[in-house]
Amino acid sequence: MENKKFKLVDIIFETEGCDVGVVLDRVLKRTPDDIIMDMIDSGLRGRGGAGFPTGLKWKFTRSESAYDKYIICNADEGEPGTFKDREILEKVPMKVFTGMAIAGYAIDAKEGFIYIRGEYRFLQKKLQSQIDEFNQMLENKGLDFKIALRWGSGAYICGEESALFESMEGKRGEPRNKPPYPTVAGFRNKPTVINNVETLVYATMINKYGADKFKELGTRDSRGSKVFSVSGDTPKAGIYELEMGLQVSEFVKEFGDGDTKAVQIGGAGGTCVPRKKFEDMIIGYEGVPTGGSMMIFNSSRSMYNVLHDYLEFFAEESCGQCTPCRVGCQQLLKGIEAVKRGERPPSYLDDLKSLAASMKIASKCGLGQSVANPFSTIIDNFREEVIY
Amino acid sequence: MGKFEVNLKINNIPVTVEEGTTILDAAKKLNFRIPTLCHHSDLCVAGNCRVCVVEQKGAKALPAACATPVSEGMDISTNSAQVRTARRHVIELLLSEHRSECTSCYKNGKCELQDLANEYRVNETTFMKLVENKGYTIDDFSPSIIKDDSKCIRCQRCVRTCTEMQSVSALAVVNKGEHQKIATFMNKPMHSVVCTNCGQCVTHCPTGALIEKNYIDQVWDVINNPELHVVVQTAPAVRIGLGESLDLSPGNRVTGKMVSALRRLGFDSVLDTDFTADLTILEEGTELLTRLKKALVDKDTETALPMTTSCSPGWVKFIEHKYPELLPNVSTCKSPQQMFGALAKTFYAQKKGLKAEKVVSISIMPCTAKKYEANRPEMRDSGFQDVDYVLTTRELAMMIRQAGIEFASLPNEKYDSIMGDSSGAAVIFGATGGVMEAALRTAYEIVTGREVPFENLDILPVRGLEGVKEAKVLIENVKPEWGFLEGAELSCAIAHGLANAKILMDKVKSGEMSYHFIEIMACPGGCLGGGGQPIPVNNEIREARMKAIYEEDSSLKIRKSHENPEVIALYEQFLGEPLGHKSHELLHTHYTGRKKY
Ligand SMILES: Cc1cc2nc3c(=O)[nH]c(=O)nc-3n(C[C@H](O)[C@H](O)[C@H](O)COP(=O)(O)O)c2cc1C
Ligand code: SF4
Ligand code: SF4
Ligand code: SF4
Ligand code: SF4
Ligand code: FES
In-domain check, residue B414: no
CATH code for the domain of B10? 3.10.20.740
| pLDDT digit string, tens, across residues A319-372 | 999 999 999 999 999 999 999 999 999 999 999 999 999 999 999 999 999 999
| pLDDT digit string, tens, across residues B519-555 | 999 999 999 999 999 999 999 999 999 999 999 999 9
Mean pLDDT on B348-367: 97
Contact call for residues B28 and B12 (beta carbons, < 8 A)? no
Tell me which of B18, B97, B164, B378 is the catalytic residue: B378
| Atom of ligand 6 lying closest to residue B52 CA | 2
Size of interface A-B (CB pairs under 8 A): 119
| pLDDT digit string, tens, across residues B554-579 | 999 999 999 999 999 999 999 999 99
Name the domain boundary from B197, B212, B227: B212
CB of A373 within 8 Å of a chain B CB? The answer is no
Three-class SS state of A229: strand
Q: How far is CA A335 from the centre of its chain?
A: 29
DSSP states along A145-178: -EEEEEE--S-GGGGSHHHHHHHHTTS---PPPS
Range of the domain at B513: 282-332+427-535+552-587
Q: In the prediction, which pLDDT does B2 show?
A: 61
Q: Choose the residue to mutate in B149, B161, B594 for probing ligand 4, maximizing ligand atoms within 8 Å of C-beta.
A: B161
Instruction: Compute the Cα dihedral for A53, A59, A63, A66 and give only its sign.
Output: positive
How many domains is chain B partitioned into structurally? Answer: 4
B323 shares a domain with B289 = yes
Class of domain A303-381: mainly alpha
Indicate if ligand 5 lies below 6 Å from the C-beta of B146.
no
Name the pairing type of β-strands A271-274 and B181-183. unpaired
Name the domain boundary from B359, B381, B409: B409
Above 90 in pLDDT, residue B74? Answer: yes
| pLDDT digit string, tens, across residues B198-229 | 999 999 999 999 999 999 999 999 999 999 99
CB of A137 within 8 Å of a chain B CB? The answer is no
Greatest alpha-carbon span in chain A: 69
B469 is catalytic: no
Class of domain A225-298: alpha beta
Ligand with minimal distance to B63 CA:
6
Q: Which of A280, A311, A106, A298 is nearest to A193 (CA)?
A: A106
In-domain check, residue B465: yes
Give distance in angstroms: CA of A195 to centre of ligand 1. Answer: 8
Banded model confidence at residue A80, pLDDT cuts 50, 70, 90: confident
Mean pLDDT (chain B) is 96
B466 is catalytic: no
Contact call for residues B142 and B191 (beta carbons, < 8 A)? yes
| pLDDT digit string, tens, across residues B427-445 | 999 999 999 999 999 999 9
| Atom of ligand 2 lying closest to residue A368 CA | 1
| pLDDT digit string, tens, across residues B228-279 | 999 999 999 999 999 999 999 999 999 999 999 999 999 999 999 999 999 9
In-domain check, residue B103: no
Which residue of A181, A314, A327, A348 is the best one to mutate when testing the B interface, meaning the one whose CB has the most B CBs within 10 A? A327
Banded model confidence at residue B394, pLDDT cuts 50, 70, 90: very high
B500 shares a domain with B352 = no
| pLDDT digit string, tens, across residues A220-235 | 999 999 999 999 999 9
Q: Which residues in B lie closer than 8 A to residue A354 (C-beta atoms)? A: 85, 89
Ligand 4, CB within 6 Å, residue ranges: B 145, 161-162, 166, 168, 170-171, 195-201
First-to-last C-alpha distance (Å) of chain A = 37
Bridge partners (DSSP) of residue B77 are B55
Q: In the prediction, which pLDDT does B597 show?
A: 84
Q: In the prediction, which pLDDT does B132 show?
A: 93
**Helices A20-29, A124-141: inter-axial angle, 10-degree rounding:** 40
B381 shares a domain with B266 = yes
B162 shares a domain with B128 = yes
DSSP-derived letter for residue B254 is: -
ipTM over 0.90: yes
| pLDDT digit string, tens, across residues A10-57 | 999 998 777 999 999 999 999 999 999 999 999 999 999 889 999 999
Buried b (16+ CB within 10 A) or exposed e, B550-563: bebbeeeebbbbbb
CATH code for the domain of B127? 3.30.70.20
Tell me, what amino acid is at B241?
G
Alpha helices for B403-476 (secondary structure H): 424-427, 434-448
Three-class SS state of B233: strand
In-domain check, residue B540: no
CATH among 3.40.640.10, 3.40.50.150, 1.10.1740.10, 3.40.50.11540 for A20-215: 3.40.50.11540
Say whether B64 and A177 touch across the interface (CB within 8 A).
yes
B517 shares a domain with B384 = no
DSSP-derived letter for residue B65 is: T
Pairwise CA distance, residues A164 & A73, whole Å: 11
Contact call for residues A205 and A95 (beta carbons, < 8 A)? yes
Going from N- to C-terminal start, the domains of chain A cover 20-215, 225-298, 303-381
Report percent pLDDT > 70 for chain A. 99
CATH code for the domain of B255? 3.40.50.1780
B566 shares a domain with B432 = yes
Q: Which residues in B lie closer than 8 A to residue A339 (C-beta atoms)? A: none
Q: In the prediction, which pLDDT does A1 show?
A: 56
Tell me which of B212, B283, B287, B437 is the catalytic residue: B287
Q: What is the pTM of this model?
A: 0.96
Q: How far is A155 from chain B (nearest CA, A)?
A: 9
Q: In the prediction, which pLDDT does A89 show?
A: 97
Q: Which residues in B lie closer than 8 A to residue A157 (C-beta atoms)? A: 176
Cα–Cα separations (whole angstroms), residue B432 to A285, B471, B494, B497: 59, 13, 8, 9
Indicate if ligand 1 lies below 6 Å from the C-beta of A44.
no
